[in-house]
Structure 1
């Protein structure tokens, strides 16, 4: 038994350690450097987070939603925003969004007036409140249905885009609050609409951050 252990320690262990070191260097260092270098060379914008930067100022990532709720901006999807849990190094609150895990089925242990509520009922109440909020902000569209993506959270809680229908729904309000014509607004929406990949895969969506930066004159 002792001789077997001694052989392992003297012969097999150094070999195993050498193999571990070699593959750690190849997979952990060389591969990482190669992938990072190639991505920085071929896709520098995407490799660095798809940051929207104008004249040296960074306005956020085009892949992450930001919350807009004033009348002069286009609104994105509903966000569950938490500004109390996280702070930066200076102690200032950092906005953090999370998805809603409510589903039309099942039961949640969240209580309301001492009674358990079903997810379906709670969702209906939340959506009703959101519909009322959207209709109040867009009184010109009271005769039209509110697009579903304006009253529901995305899976990530940080979806950067809305449907073309949801963007179109807000145009009458933006005509009134921004002073831009309907044609100007439609041109902006069209410019920042992301189309289906190869015209087949995925869905068209409007990037809300870019539209709002265009409304402010930051993006052209």
Structure 2
């Protein structure tokens, strides 16, 4: 029995070291050497201070900024730990809402979001990502169409010509990966930072 147990224990220890220590350290080292920004979270730094990540959405609610798509993330209810409360852009709880298309809560939220957009002066079709959440609840991107529907509001709040803000949006549009994968998109954080850099 010991003759069978010894090789099993040696292999367990060997593969634990190889797959639990050597392999992760090697991959981390390669990532740091080849793609250091991505390996460290694609952080965006302004004036020596981290302001966010290209990969995780943030909540912007001021009329002076472009707004991201709605977020379905939640957090533990401080009053009752067995329940949750809405906590938009909570990176510790990345999740979709799991609400089906006929769920009253989802229908009511989408209707309220549409009414808010109409009250803000959005005319014509409303881009779906302006009223629907992403699967993670933390999507940092919106469609160019969503960004363009917000140009009037942002331009008015900043006393900027709408054409100038529209040009900024168009300059921030990212294409498909390798020209084939995904959709054209706008990173909301990068767009808002570029907006702050504009001179009126």
Matched with 2:107 is 124
Q: How many aligned residue pairs are there?
A: 187
Q: 1:27 to 1:84 in 2, by over 3 A?
A: closer
Alpha-carbon distance change, 163 to 32 in structure 1, aligned in 2, over 3 angstroms: same
Q: Tell me which of 26, 39, 46 is aligned to 2:38.
A: 46
Query: What is residue 13 of structure 1 aligned with on the other side?
Result: 5
Partner Cα distance (2:127, 2:186) in 1: 13
What secondary structure sits across from 2:97 in the alignment? coil
Note if contact 1:74-1:208 (Cα within 8 Å) is conserved in structure 2. yes
Distance 1:209 1:14 in 2: 56
Where structure 2 has 5 or more consecutive residues not aligned to the other structure, the ranges are: 79-86
For residues 88 and 105 of structure 2, the distance between their equivalents in structure 1, rounded to whole angstroms, comes to: 28
Show the counterpart of 1:133.
116
Calculate the TM-score normalised by the size of structure 1.
0.77
C-alpha contact (below 8 Å) 1:83/1:95 kept by paired residues? no
TM-score (norm. length: structure 2): 0.84
Report the equivalent of 1:62.
54
Of 37-46 and 54-63, more deviation after overlay is shown by 54-63
| Residues 143-187 of structure 1 deviation map (CA, whole Å, 9 limit, x = unaligned) | x12111111111111111111100011111112112333343233
1:147 aligns with one of 108, 127, 133: 127
Structure 1 residue 123, shift from structure 2 partner: 3.2
CA displacement at 1:135 relative to structure 2: 1.8
Query: 1:157: which partner in 2?
Result: 137
Structure 1: how far apart are the matches of 2:192 and 2:75? Answer: 22
Aligned to 1:202: 182
Q: Relative to structure 1, is the Cα distance of residues 84 and 27 closer, same or farther in structure 2, using a 3 angstrom cutoff?
A: closer
CA distance in 2: counterparts of 1:102 and 1:122, whole angstroms: 8
The DSSP-based 3-state class of the residue aligned with 1:102 is coil
Select which of 168, 171, 179 maps to 2:148.
168
What secondary structure is seen at the aligned counterpart in 2 of 1:20? helix
Distance 1:94 1:73 in 2: 17
Indicate conservation of the 8 Å contact 2:58/2:89, yes or no. Answer: no
- The 1:67–1:100 alpha-carbon spacing in structure 2 relative to 1, beyond 3 Å, is same
Larger radius of gyration: 1
Q: Do structure 1's residue 212 and structure 2's residue 192 form an aligned pair?
A: yes
Instruction: Please state if 1:103 is matched with 2:107.
Output: no
Gaps of 5+ in 1: 1-7, 87-92, 105-117
